[in-house]
């Protein structure tokens, strides 16, 4: 029998949608490809979730998962490989070969790190090149590392990396950081952090592992090699869109799903929430808000259709 609701993605938006759907006593399943939590699992410390003292991303997501499951959410470990519409709702095929059917669908598949595509980046991924300081930071004890980007992720994780590394070089293409001011202040206070303003990375150098990062100063055109053991890229996020879904939704120029304020997509019964959605502010607090609204909207759709 088809479920009332399937949720694709187990980050904060999906877990919150699952919790609200469970409380509404819907028959609901959440499909998650890895460990529930999504991007926050690779966030060292969450300091801006209201009412919660600074907490590791992994701990916060574990708490969200438990709360949702306690309210009746069933979590299935599977990757959605194909989404399609059928007469009574939606069909979701997964990598395990199973097909799940539901009358309503919430997509909370989140986002993935953008790759710059410079020489050496792909070849040395896992051998010094990383997109996750929490995962790979401890391998850089007493070494120098580089962080590429000037947003919240880059600057926050650069400060975290200073726990292990002897020096953290932030490579940023402009002369001002994009990160929130309080995050910037932490970086400016950390003596191990050095910011290379108006610089872009050209190539990651090394054979067995990272040996250096080649950099160009865009102001004067000079180039130099920075001897580092690790390079962490934080140059933005791109949406994760399961195959088949793009036929059922509208997207913005960046590929993020466009919804109305009720999280409804252009196909009836289909909703999107969290980082995968087109919006200005991508935070845990906005993801959980989206998730709650999406579940509420799905409940109303199910009751009225």
Q: How many residues does the chain have?
A: 305
Tokens of 35: 């460990």
Please state, in angstroms and rounded to a whole number, the distance separating the CA atoms of residues 92 and 101. Answer: 6
d(CA 19, CA 64): 9
Site for ligand NAP in 132-151 (CB under 6 A): 149-151
Residue 153 binds ligand NAP (CB under 6 A): yes
Q: How far is the CB of 286 from ligand NAP (least distance, A)?
A: 9
**Shortest distance (Å) from residue 236 CB to ligand NAP:** 4
CB of 183 within 8 A of CB of 156? Answer: yes
Only one of the segments 122-130, 189-197, 234-242, 291-299 lies at the binding site for ligand NAP (rule: CB under 6 A); that segment is 234-242
Residue ranges with strand state E in the chain = 3-8, 28-32, 74-77, 80-86, 89-94, 99-107, 111-113, 129-130, 144-148, 167-171, 193-196, 199-205, 212-217, 223-226, 230-233, 237-239, 270-272
Pick the stretch among 101-109, 184-192, 232-240, 258-266 that binds ligand NAP (CB under 6 A): 232-240
**Smallest distance, ligand NAP to C-beta of residue 157, A:** 8
Instruction: Choose, from 3, 4, 136, 290, the residue flagged as catalytic.
Output: 136
Separation of alpha carbons 87 and 180, rounded Å? 46
Of residues 36 and 150, the one with the C-beta less far from ligand NAP: 150
Cα(208)–Cα(86) distance, integer angstroms:
50
- Please say which residue, 145 or 154, places its beta carbon nearer to ligand NAP: 154
Whether residue 189 contacts residue 162, with contact meaning beta carbons closer than 8 Å, is answered with no
Residues 38-57 that bind ligand NAP (CB under 6 A): 48
Residue 231 CB, nearest approach to ligand NAP (Å): 12
Catalytic residue among 70, 135, 182, 225: 135
Integer CA distances (angstroms), 305 to 104, 160, 249, 266, in order: 10, 49, 20, 16
For the CB of residue 59, give the shortest distance to ligand NAP in the complex, in Å.
15
Give the x/- contact pattern for ligand NAP in 264-293, rule: CB under 6 A.
------------------xx----------
Name the one range near ligand NAP by CB under 6 A: 131-139, 171-179, 214-222, 238-246.
171-179
129 is a site residue for ligand NAP (CB under 6 A): no
For helices 12-23 and 57-70, angle between their N-to-C axes, nearest 10 degrees: 20
- Give me the active site residues, please: 132, 135-136
- List of residues contacting ligand NAP (CB under 6 A): 48, 116, 149-154, 156, 173-174, 178, 200, 234-237, 282-283
């Amino acid at each position: 029998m088809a479920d009332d609701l399937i949720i694709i993605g187990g980050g904060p938006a999906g877990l919150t949608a699952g919790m609200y759907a469970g409380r509404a006593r819907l028959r609901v399943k959440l499909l998650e490809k890895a460990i529930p939590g999504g991007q926050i699992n690779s966030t060292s410390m969450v300091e801006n979730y209201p009412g919660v003292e600074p907490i590791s991303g992994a701990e916060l997501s574990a708490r969200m998962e438990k709360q949702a499951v306690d309210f009746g959410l069933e979590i299935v470990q599977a990757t959605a490989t194909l989404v399609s519409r059928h007469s009574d709702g939606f069909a979701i095929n997964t990598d395990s070969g199973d097909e799940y059917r539901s009358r309503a669908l919430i997509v909370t598949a989140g986002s993935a790190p953008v790759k710059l595509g410079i020489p050496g980046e792909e070849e040395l991924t896992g051998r010094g090149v990383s997109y996750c300081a929490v995962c790979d930071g401890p391998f850089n004890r007493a070494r120098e590392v580089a962080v590429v980007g000037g947003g919240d992720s880059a600057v926050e994780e650069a400060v975290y990396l200073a726990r292990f590394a002897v020096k953290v070089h932030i490579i940023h293409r402009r002369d001002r950081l994009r990160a929130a001011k309080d995050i910037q202040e932490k970086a400016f206070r950390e003596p191990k952090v050095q910011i290379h303003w108006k610089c872009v990375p050209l190539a990651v150098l090394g054979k067995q592992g990272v040996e250096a990062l080649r950099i160009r100063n865009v102001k004067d055109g000079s180039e130099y090699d920075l001897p580092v053991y690790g390079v962490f890229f934080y140059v933005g996020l791109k949406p994760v869109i399961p195959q088949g879904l793009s036929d059922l939704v509208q997207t913005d120029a960046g590929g993020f799903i466009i919804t109305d304020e009720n999280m409804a997509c252009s196909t009836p019964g289909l909703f999107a929430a969290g980082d995968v959605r087109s919006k200005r502010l991508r935070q845990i607090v906005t993801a959980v808000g989206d998730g709650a609204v999406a579940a509420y909207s799905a409940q109303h759709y199910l009751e009225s259709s």
